[in-house]
Structure formats: structure tokens, C-alpha cells
Amino acid sequence: MTPLVQGFSTTSYLGFNKNLLSYLGDDDNTFAQIFTALLPASLIFSPLFGMSLTKKGFAFTFGLLLFLGFTWSIVTLLPSLRLQLIAFLTFTNFRAMFYSAYFTFLAHTFGNRTFGSVNAMLATLVAFLAFMIGPCASFFQRHFGNLLGMSVLIITLMLPSSLMTFQLARHLSIYPSGDVRSQHQKHADQSQSGESRDICSEASA
């Protein structure tokens, strides 16, 4: 469910952000251009995404994703153009980290044989959900005169994801082998053990 919600959220925000900024007074599209320019900014922090997964694991990373998701979606409810810069920065990192964690989780959990099938199924479901963005946006625009309701909808959809993240953390605490962190630690231990053996061999020679 979490990939569906996050996929719906990111696609929705990319779609209604310009309208939201216009509603807040961005008549010359200055902030809309800033948002577009900041989308690739997540490349700066991309090494941290990998460290989050390998050092802290899936539960921490998905928890951090929820924090970023709630941050940018809540900020969009605030009637301030300047504060939207916070939403821009958190969203671009949220989006990049989501796809990084999502594909890593699928590959680690389902393996090479079923990864493609599961990913295709989820991508198809996200595509169907994307068709709901237009009707939802039209509903809020028609009945409330703005698209702030889309942000409320996104926040509401994220709440069950919070419970699922707690459940994931509990599951991985019982079965740590299901976490990418344990696999990374195992490889690190094996590498360190191999280096120790090489040192001992050189010393004995």
C-alpha cells in the first residue's frame, strides 16, 4: 500500500503545485520556476539515501520518508509562498529517496525472479490511481475554490502508511535477515574476516 500512496502523492503534487502557487500569489511564476530548478537538487544528498538504507535499514528509511512526506504536504497548507521553499526541498528529497528505497526493498524482499513482476503490478496500480488525480483536483476546485484539499487527502492517505512502517519495524526486529542492513553488515564482516586472514597469512609467511 505504501508504494501506491507515495506514488499517488508525488504525481499529485507535481500536477497541482503550479495551481497551488498561483493561488498563493505566484502570479509571475517565480516560485514555480524555483520548484522546477530544485527538482534535481536531490542529487546532492543521494549518498545519504544509500547510507540510510545500509546503516539504518528499511524501517528507519521508510520512517524518514514519512517524515519528509508529512513535512512537505503540511507546508502546502500554509498560506505563505516563502514557506513553500521548505516544501520544495523536502519534496525533491522525498521523491528521490522514495524511489531509491522502493526499488531496493523490492529487490531485496522478492529477489531477481519476481522483482519485475511485482514492480510491474505496482506500477500498473499507481497508473490507475493517477487517473483519479484529475477528478479529485476538479472536485476540490469546484467545491472549495482551491486545491488545498489535495494536500489534506495526501496527508490522510499517509496515515495508514505510518502504521505499516511500525509493523515493518516490528517484523524486521524479529526477522533481521529481511533487512538490507543485515546483508550489508554480513558482507562487511566477511570482507573484514578475509582481510584478517590475509594479514595472518602474510605474517606467518
Angle at 149 between CA 102 and CA 80, to 5 degrees: 90
Under the phi-then-psi rule, with left for phi > 0, alpha for psi from -120 to 50, and beta for the rest, what region is 62? alpha
CA nearest to 72, candidates 52, 56, 93, 58: 93
C-alpha cell, 161:
502508511
Place 154 in a pLDDT band, splitting at 50, 70 and 90.
very high
pLDDT tens digits along 22-65: 989 999 999 999 999 998 888 888 888 888 888 888 889 999 99
C-alpha cell, 15:
500536477
CA distance 23 to 17: 10
pLDDT tens digits along 165-190: 889 889 888 888 888 877 666 554 45
pLDDT tens digits along 77-93: 999 999 999 999 999 99
pLDDT tens digits along 94-132: 999 988 888 888 888 888 788 888 888 888 888 888 888
C-alpha cell, 85:
521553499
pLDDT at 203: 52
Matching residue, cell 497508473: 127
Place 197 in a pLDDT band, splitting at 50, 70 and 90.
low
- As to burial, measured by CB atoms within 10 angstroms (0-12 exposed, 13-18 middle, 19+ buried), residue 202 is exposed
pLDDT at 192: 52
pLDDT at 109: 84
Is 205's pLDDT higher than 80?
no
CA distances from 27 to 14, 35, 36, 148 (A): 18, 14, 16, 18
CA distance 199 to 20: 62
